Amino acid sequence: MKASRWPTALLAIGLVVSAVVLDAAIARASDPLPSWKDGKAKQSIIAFVKKVTSTGSPDYVPPAERIATFDNDGTLWAEQPMYVQLAFALDRVRELAAAHPEWKQKQPFKAALEGDFKAVAAGGEHALLELIMATHAGMTTDEFAGTVSTWLASAKHPRFKRLYTGLVYQPMLELLAYLRANGFKTFIASGGGIELMRVFAGQVYGIPPEQVIGSSIKMAYEVRDGRPVLKRLPEIDFINDKAGKPVGIWRQIGRRPIAAFGNSDGDFEMLEWVTRGRGPHFGLLVHHDDAQREWAYDRKSPIGNLQRGLDQAPKRGWTVVSMQKDWITIFKP
């Protein structure tokens, strides 16, 4: 295995070096957020970062406490017309169908195989859970990561015909880099599966696996022919959504972040918890209002539903970003 370590090592060094160079370049640049139009949203971000990083300021926050948490689906990458994780699960169902002839007659697999997403959705949470368990459990952590990696390298988004990892928001990549260049530690805190995100978060967002927080299934340690593995079990461990987000973040970090970024009411409690902490804090919601370049949805959407957040943002002092008006570019070029 030693020979095979070299390319990985070089790749890792390359990634680290480019991330560092990129972050530093962004920090020095006259405009650290070039894809953000000048306006209230951009100004609020820059004012917050300046405030907490100015030594001597009453709002100064030491680097160790500069924790920022980002939702993933709809905040860092596109979540329409369905969560990327669901697209992965449906593709896996199709791939595994040959070994499961019974799926042709059994819901929600029948609907999934027929591409009848309405019927899948009609099955509610239980149907989704069945699809997730059938496609996300029963293998080792290494095997699962390999499957995700292979899928991400080839599956294309139905509307944009690009890899899903290409549908990350350029303004948010700049924001991540800007925060890191200012001593922040950036975390993902998503309702999505932690192990799926860990596969690409390093390369795509510059966020290492130990800074990814998400929903999880249980695992068991096993030794197979002398080789230790972690087996993924078909049982929910934790749902990192809504009131679960502050719990999941605390469990993994043991600190309250000072900045939180989301786009739906699944992020409400995270923003509430963060922005009612002691000391300076920042909350931001990405509002999907650009049907032309991306999608426009909020109060009535089953995916990324946003009502309470929109209503309460003004009085809670949260920044609401209009994708249409605040962002010059949407996706990574």
Residues 241-280 that bind a second copy (CB under 8 A): 243-244, 246-247, 250-255, 269, 272-273, 276, 278-279
Asked if 73 and 79 count as a contact pair (C-beta separation under 8 A), the reply is: yes
Contact with a second copy (CB under 8 A): which of 18, 29, 54, 62?
A: 62
Give the HSE-up count for residue 64: Cα atoms under 13 Å, Cβ half-sphere.
Answer: 2
Check residue 198 for interaction with a second copy (CB under 8 A). yes
* Residues sharing a CB contact under 8 Å with residue 167, sequence separation 6 or more, in sequence order: 77, 78, 157, 160, 331, 332
Q: What is the end-to-end Cα distance of the chain in Å, rounded?
A: 36
Check residue 59 for interaction with a second copy (CB under 8 A). yes
Binding-site size, a second copy (CB under 8 A): 54
Q: Measured on CA atoms in the order 248, 250, 254, 256, is the torsion positive or negative?
A: positive
**Tokens coding 209:** 């696996």
Check residue 64 for interaction with a second copy (CB under 8 A). yes
Asked if 112 and 105 count as a contact pair (C-beta separation under 8 A), the reply is: no
Contact with a second copy (CB under 8 A): which of 65, 91, 116, 290?
A: 65
Check residue 137 for interaction with a second copy (CB under 8 A). no
Check residue 82 for interaction with a second copy (CB under 8 A). no
**Least distance from C-beta 252 to a second copy, angstroms?**
6
Closer residue to a second copy, CB minimum distance, 52 or 168: 52
CA distances to 41, 173, 210, 270 from 206, in Å: 23, 9, 12, 22
Could you tell me which of 235, 245, 115 has the C-alpha nearest to residue 192?
Answer: 245
Closer residue to a second copy, CB minimum distance, 158 or 208: 208
**Least distance from C-beta 251 to a second copy, angstroms?**
7
Binding site residues, a second copy, CB under 8 A:
1-6, 8-9, 12-13, 16, 58-65, 141, 185, 194-195, 198, 208-210, 212, 216, 219-221, 223, 226-228, 230, 237, 243-244, 246-247, 250-255, 269, 272-273, 276, 278-279
